[in-house]
A = this chain, B = another copy of it.
Amino acid sequence: MDARQIMDSDAFKRCQAFHGHVCGGLAIGYLAATAGLDWLREKRALDEELVAIVETDACCVDAIQALTGCTFGKGNLIHRDYGKMGFTFFNRRTGRGVRLAMKPDAFRVNDRQITLFRKTRDGSITDSERAELDALGMQRTVDVLNTRAEDLFSISAVTAGMPDKARIEPSTPCARCGEPTMASKLETVDGARVCRGCLA
């Protein structure tokens, strides 16, 4: 499929609806998720059949959540804060895993985009600059979606390091605020079990 066909697909529209907008990062996540699922020969996870380890918290992860069913709230999306476009997918049933890592210089945000991103952050962007940023973003999205996953990512089998399943445990009240808290997250202070919110 070329970029236009992908952008018209239900799968991409699901990413867009969840993320709220289209951007190059979402396109990178789309490619990573679809290539990862293809490699695992799996569809979207309804429960915890699949696990994703993501080494970034950037836009791409929203496409991964929407497409793979590995979501923050299900506990099968694991964030390792490395600041890298690295994505590992495991299939709990088969034990197979694959890591996709962005190739060096495969896809750089250009300096003008970064300048304009910063202006949106500090609120100084003008209407014409915002239009320019939108156009640059759309071009980047199209460029990414017209790239083959194997050209964008190094793709390698992973045989070890499957994370444990999410833990479920009952709550007990914090000794200070009284709010129900997972017992394993309470800290002992002067003999009392206190939540991290009260200690923050």
Q: Which residues of A contact B (CB under 8 A)?
A: 18-21, 25-26, 29, 44-47, 55-66, 69, 71-75, 77, 79-86, 101-102, 104-105, 108-109, 111, 114, 117-118, 121, 165-166, 168-171, 173-174, 178-182, 184-186, 195-197, 200
What would 20 more interface pairs be, CB under 8 Å, given A80-B196, A102-B179?
A20-B69, A20-B71, A25-B73, A57-B73, A57-B166, A60-B73, A62-B71, A62-B72, A65-B73, A72-B77, A80-B197, A80-B200, A81-B196, A83-B182, A84-B179, A84-B182, A108-B170, A109-B170, A114-B169, A117-B168
Residues of B within 8 A of A62 (CB): 71-74
| B25, A83: Cβ atoms closer than 8 Å | no
Residue of B nearest to A113 (CB): B168
| B82, A181: Cβ atoms closer than 8 Å | yes
* 12 A-B contacts (beta carbon < 8 Å): A18-B18, A18-B71, A19-B74, A20-B69, A20-B71, A65-B65, A80-B196, A82-B196, A84-B180, A86-B197, A104-B179, A109-B168
| B20, A46: Cβ atoms closer than 8 Å | yes
Query: CA separation between A54 and B168, bound complex, in Å?
Result: 17
Contact of A197 among B55, B102, B195 (CB under 8 A): B55
